[in-house]
Amino acid sequence: MVIMNEFQTTCLALAKASILEEFGLSDPKTIKLEDEQFSQKRACFVTLKMNDELRWCIGTIIPHTKLSQDIIINAKNAAFQDPRFNPLTMYEIENNKLTIWITILSPTHQKNFSNSTGLLEFLEKEHCGLIITFWYKQATFLPSVREELPDPQEFIFNLLNKAGITEQEFENEFSDFVFEIYYGDEFNENRKKIHW
């Protein structure tokens, strides 16, 4: 069992309070933010899993507001605005095992590869998040996705699919692709019933 530090515990408390505020059960403004990281501009993702299945995930890649606000906004948006899923309900909270994950991202930086083999070799060694951009098409996978897709080729194939990019475009027009990598500090906590 991983022991979370006070900063991580507070991050989770902010996310939970933001979600429960929608049901009139909490207020994120009452949480004390003693760590100076909360006032820094940082980007994060908030992911909710229900019974170990992904249900909601929303986040930001580029820092644009202080971390405390980014957590509050992304938690609320993940629970109620993710277009892939119906909004979270109190019934689901009370009757399922709900897990909340927060990934705080490092700044992104562009990485150049001469060919797709170079990219795959890099991903063999590095456990990182990746943003792939091809003209107007773009998609990202968090570092944690590498646990689910440890094979670099499968990782890239699924990321291309998410962006709506064909494998033929990837191979034939590789020089037009932009790759940005980032890392993430990811932590989670389980919630059972309302005692989340």
Q: Does pTM surpass 0.85? A: no
Q: Is the pLDDT of residue 67 over 80?
A: yes
Question: Could you read off the pLDDT of 13-42 as tens digits, one per residue?
Answer: 999 999 999 999 999 999 999 899 999 999
23 and 70 co-located in one domain: yes
The DSSP 8-state label assigned to residue 138 in this structure reads: E
Task: Give the residue-averaged pLDDT of 33-55.
Answer: 91
Domain of 136, CATH number, reads 3.30.1490.150
- As to burial, measured by CB atoms within 10 angstroms (0-12 exposed, 13-18 middle, 19+ buried), residue 66 is middle
Quote the Cα angle for 143-80-50, to 5°. Answer: 55
Q: How many domains does the chain contain in total?
A: 2
Judge whether 49 lies within some domain.
yes
- Which domain range does residue 172 map to? 109-182
77 and 165 co-located in one domain: no
Quote the Cα angle for 36-39-41, to 5°. Answer: 120
Give the separation between CA 139 and CA 150, rounded to whole angstroms.
18
Judge whether 1 lies within some domain.
no
